[in-house]
Structure 1
Amino acid sequence: MGGAGVSEQAMTGPAPAVSGLRPGPEGPFPFRQFIVKMHGRCNLACTYCYLYEGPDSSWRDRPAAASPAVLDRTATRIAEHAARHALRDLALVLHGGEPLLAGAAPLAALAGRVRELVPPGCQVHATVQTNATLLTEERLAVLADAGVRVGISLDGGTAVHNRRRVDHAGRPSWPAAARGARLAAERYPEAYAGLLTVVDPTLDPVETYESLLGLRPPALDLLLPHGNWSAPPPGRTGVRYGDWLCAVFDRWWSAGRREVRVRLFEECVALLLGLPAATEALGLAPFDAVVVETDGSIEQVDSLKSAYPGAARTGLDVFRHTFDDALRHPGVAARQAGPASLAEQCRACPLLRVCGGGHYAHRYRAGHGFRNPSVYCADLQRFIRHVSSRLAAATSAASAAATGDSSARWLPGAGPPGAAGLSATDQPRTGHGGSGQAGTGPAGTGAEPTGAEPTEAEPTGAAPVPAEAAPATGESPEPPEPAEPTAPTPVPPASAGGAPAGGAPAGHVPAGGASARPVASGSARAGTVSTGGGAW
């Protein structure tokens, strides 16, 4: 293995049967997002970090930084995958930990090496996700010259908003992070990808949003904190998170102009209009992100590590396996199975094509795997229905103005105005694989599904959720006991405990990893890529 440093234990382990969860005839879908751990440590100790404070401590057993041998082999494997699947573009996310602990030169070198090796015609969108504390004029210059864009993880535009982002001595990171973010915005705007922010429902939503605008991000992504049924997110009462998102959406929607691209909002609107999805948080886009750890291990995205120890492990590495081998892993196969891998309640839900079951890691329940509704189910319903009502009102008004008919009304299910009279079933669907866009993020899987798909017609993403529908209230219902345990990778013992991918529309920002979430760009919707680990 030439210094890969991958333990034998990490290379072995039983794999669950997933005969019922194989991709359809159009799959498996190739990886388009390659998240490379440049450094496995972080100079911050954020209090909510699922990677270093969560149940999976595998980072302790890996090298602090990826060796030249690991990086060179990774570049070769990426190029092989791009050639085999004739990829026209791919996202290279330079991640951590805090990737800049490795310095800017190795990041620039890897981006250059991948571009050198991929087939002609394949565009590589390289992004680094950083906490911004180590950004300097010199490092930004190196990254900009190498065509590596910079995604920054911050929870707001003031010290108060970032009180949970501290260093290992408990000191605030805000002064250094703010300096780095402003340097990127002012001196290297062409290399500034945007901001990644974890939602804190205890903070004023509009104030938080407007403070972020002060950092002049070209794009913004809002992430729900990682949590699940066994380790619920903080303050999970009522629909606090849904209400928070609705308040920010209204501020963004009513601005009268595009102040910033908010990936979550634009993706929700796109899905309601029947357009392809390109995010892990919403929709049914196929999983297309893969991680290479500092020791060369090939893993599923980091967000799965918030579930239980080993949830992201595949037992593969870049020295002995290809990324096509990873596509055949049960966890990845389950993530590309579309609605078949979802809980029965999700498959029967009218919001299916828009919600998509929510973020994969948020569905976990100890002893039963991931085949449950999201722990944020009620919040997602609240948010999606709210966006749908705003969209319906706007399109109805636009239709009335265009036709001169003040009584014109956009009927849910009839398709948005200007759709040439297409019925709901004629509208573009958001099912997995139909869009060719970058897929979603983390993988982990549920066990084989039991029972068949619902026989009633599935709702399409083309028809907005009826505006008249009452918004969800109260807490997300506990998932019923499944008929049999399910789990993507082997289900851990009951004692075991519970992450930004998919591209976003041009100019959008994807989400983070240890330092937040990595931002990558280069999926079907050019401009950004989100990975389950949380990055641009």
Structure 2
Amino acid sequence: MAHRPAPTRPVPFSEFILKVHSRCNLACDYCYMYELADRRARTDPPLMSPEVFDHTCRRLAEHVHTHGLAAARIVLHGGEPLLAGAPALARMAERLRAAVSPASARISVQTNGTLLDERALAVLAEAGVLVGVSLDGDRRSNDRHRRYASGRGSFDAVERALRLLAGRPEAYAGILCVVDLDADPRGTYQALLAHRPPMVDFLLPHANWETPPRRVGPAEGGYGRWLADAFDAWYDAPVRLTRVRLFEELLNLLLGGQSRTESVGLSPVAAVVVNTDGGYEQVDTLRSSYPGAVDTALTVFDDTFDDVLRHPAVAIRQAGVAALAAECRRCPVHQVCGGGNYPHRYRAGSFTNPSVYCADLRLLIAHVSSRLRADLAGLRGG
């Protein structure tokens, strides 16, 4: 697939996603690893071997020290990383911190929560590993999509894990929630708040122009209206009980700031994946577009993270506005939207398209902007 060269100097990676276990004990129907376009994870090595991990540590140290990074974010990911066992993850965290020192390392585990018991949490907390959990709201909403292969829902097991995390706030990273149009947005937000998360991240289901998202009703914008309702529930609260990453990013961008995530805004991609086999991959959600979309043909055995930065597919995702479709560049909110999440732009052979969620993002941005403008006008009037 052809990519235009990026006009800007490469920006070093600062987030490193390590696929430490490629299998999962759930069978979520929207899983980009196993259920969408690229399902090759089924044949990846189940575990990251000690040899792959050793090389990854060396490459990480090299990148962090070469670029003088003060900090690195490292995510132990899957599949389901807790299938590797909490003690193994704690040992990995210790090795990774030693590798990047004197830079600091924010190490987290992103888990479905079903295997997080009291003992596992104690081990991870002692190792300074933060735990993020996926949950899609209340029991009915969560179990509509996040089920075991037998069809049994996962809510009870995840709820137990979240109760434990609420008692260990120092280890609690937050909750990821995929938007479901069949669920009430305000009810979903309140259901998540019940678990006292320090952060909530609402995610749009991974879709593109070849495999469009499910819509409810004839009109576009349903996901935007859902998120606007959730925004109001968060924004209007007299006391801010949690952070919501997407909403904070939009407010920051509307006020002239820079994004800290690739899903909105024009900041260069900062994340890279190391698979269980040692292959460098682009952000793993690209598996939702077509088989091979994540591939770089580079490995930790033979190549550096700087080599990955020079890969054409990575370089274009650091090109900012130059990587957007002409239609996007003409849009008045392109600095805020940033073209939307990169995987959501895919259409047969090209990512140089508006997001398949374009109408939703414009609706949400307009809503957030109107709320912000009204409040700023009120402050000036006062």
Give your verdict on TM over 0.5. yes
Aligned counterparts of 1:139 and 1:117: Cα–Cα separation in 2: 24
Structure whose alpha-carbon radius of gyration is higher: 1
Superposition deviation, residue 170 in structure 1: 1.1
One-letter code of the match for 1:98? Answer: E
- TM-score, normalization by structure 1: 0.70
Counterparts of 1:307-318 in structure 2, within 5 Å, are 307-318=289-300
> Could you tell me which residue of structure 2 aligns to residue 283 of structure 1?
265
SS of match in other structure, 2:57? helix
Cα distance in 2 for partners of 1:128, 1:117 equals 18
Which residue in the other structure is 2:311 paired with?
A: 329
Partner of 1:224: 204
Matched, 1:80 2:40: no
SS across alignment from 1:31: coil
Match of 1:127 among 92, 104, 108: 108
Equivalent positions of 1:6-21 (< 5 A) are 16=2, 18=3, 20-21=4-5
How far apart are 1:60 and its partner, in Å?
Answer: 2.3
* Sequence identity percentage: 55
2:178 counterpart of 1:194: no
Contact 2:296–2:311 (Cα < 8 Å) also in 1: yes
CA distance in 2, matches of 1:55, 1:159: 27
The answer to whether the Cα contact below 8 Å between 1:154 and 1:162 also exists between their aligned partners in 2 is: no
* Corresponding residue for residue 149 of structure 1: 130
Q: What's the RMSD between the two structures over aligned residues?
A: 1.2
How much does 1:157 deviate? Answer: 3.3
Equivalent residues of 1:342, 1:371 under 8 A apart:
yes
Query: In structure 2, how many angstroms separate the alpha carbons of the residues matched to 1:61 and 1:321?
Result: 23
Q: Give the alignment partner of residue 352 of structure 2, picking from 363, 371, 379.
A: 371
Contact 1:157 1:215 in 2 (8 A): no
Kindly provide the CA deviation profile for residues 414-456 of structure 1, in whole angstroms up to 9, marking residues without a partner as x: xxxxxxxxxxxxxxxxxxxxxxxxxxxxxxxxxxxxxxxxxxx
| Residue aligned with 1:247, SS | helix
* Structure 2 counterpart SS, 1:87: coil
Measured against aligned partners, the alpha-carbon deviations of 1:182-212 in whole angstroms (never above 9, x if no partner) come to: 11112x1110010000000111110111011
Aligned residues: 380
- The answer to whether residue 248 in structure 2 is matched with residue 266 in structure 1 is yes
CA distance in 1, matches of 2:154, 2:24: 12
> Residue 426 of structure 1 aligns with which residue?
none
CA contact (8 A) 2:141 2:183 kept: no
Contact 1:21 1:340 in 2 (8 A): no
The alpha carbon displacement at 1:150 in A equals 0.2
| Residue-by-residue CA offset, 1:358-394 (whole Å, 9 max, x unaligned) | 0000000013x10000000000000000000000000
Does the CA-based 8 Å contact 1:246-1:383 persist in structure 2? Answer: yes
The 5 Å alignment of 1:40-189 reads: 40-120=22-102, 122-186=103-167, 188-189=168-169
Q: Which amino acid in 2 is paired with 1:400?
A: G
Do structure 1's residue 211 and structure 2's residue 191 form an aligned pair? Answer: yes
Residue correspondence of structure 1 range 497-536 to structure 2 within 5 A: none
Q: Which of 358, 381, 387 does residue 362 from structure 2 map onto?
A: 381
AA matched with 2:202: L
Q: How does 1:384-533 map to 2 (within 5 A)?
A: 384-401=365-382
Per the normalisation by structure 2, the TM-score is 0.97
Determine the C-alpha separation between the residues in 1 that align with 2:139 and 2:377: 39
Whether 2:17 is the aligned partner of 1:35: answer yes
- Name the residue aligned to 2:339: 357
**One-letter code aligned to 1:110:** M
Give the letter for the 1:133 counterpart: T
Aligned to 1:233: 213
Say which is worse superposed, 110-119 or 241-250, in terms of deviation. Answer: 110-119
How big is the shift at 1:159? 4.0
Distance (Å, rounded) in 2 between the aligned partners of 1:265 and 1:160:
21
Kept after mapping to 2: 8 A contact 1:281/1:359: yes
Contact preservation (8 Å) 1:66, 1:295 = yes
How far, CA to CA, are the matches of 1:139 and 1:243 in structure 2?
39
Consecutive unaligned residues in structure 1, runs of 5 or more: 1-14, 402-536
Residue 184 of structure 1 aligns with an amino acid whose one-letter code is: L
Please give the alpha-carbon distance, in whole angstroms, between the structure 2 residues aligned to 1:399 and 1:179: 47
The CA deviation string for residues 133-179 of structure 1, in whole angstroms up to 9 with x for no partner, is 00011111111111110000000133443321101111111111111
Q: Any idea what SS the aligned residue of 1:52 has? A: coil
Alignment partners' CA distance in 1, 2:230 and 2:205:
16
Corresponding residue for residue 6 of structure 2: 22
Q: In the alignment, is residue 341 of structure 1 matched against residue 341 of structure 2?
A: no
Contact 1:132 1:176 in 2 (8 A): yes
**Aligned AA for 1:245?**
L
- Matched residues in 2 for 1:94 and 1:119: separation? 18
Q: Which amino acid aligns with 1:151?
A: G
Letter in 1 for 2:169: P
Secondary structure at 1:21's aligned position in 2? Answer: coil
1:66-107 CA distance string (max 9 Å, x none): 111111111111111000100001100000000000001221
Which structure is higher in helix share?
2
Indicate conservation of the 8 Å contact 2:20/2:276, yes or no. Answer: yes
In the alignment, structure 2 segments of 5+ residues that lack a partner are none
* Aligned counterparts of 1:166 and 1:124: Cα–Cα separation in 2: 33
1:292 and 2:308 are equivalent in the alignment: no
User: What code does the residue aligned with 1:207 have?
Assistant: G
Does the Cα contact within 8 Å between 1:34 and 1:93 map onto a contact in 2? yes
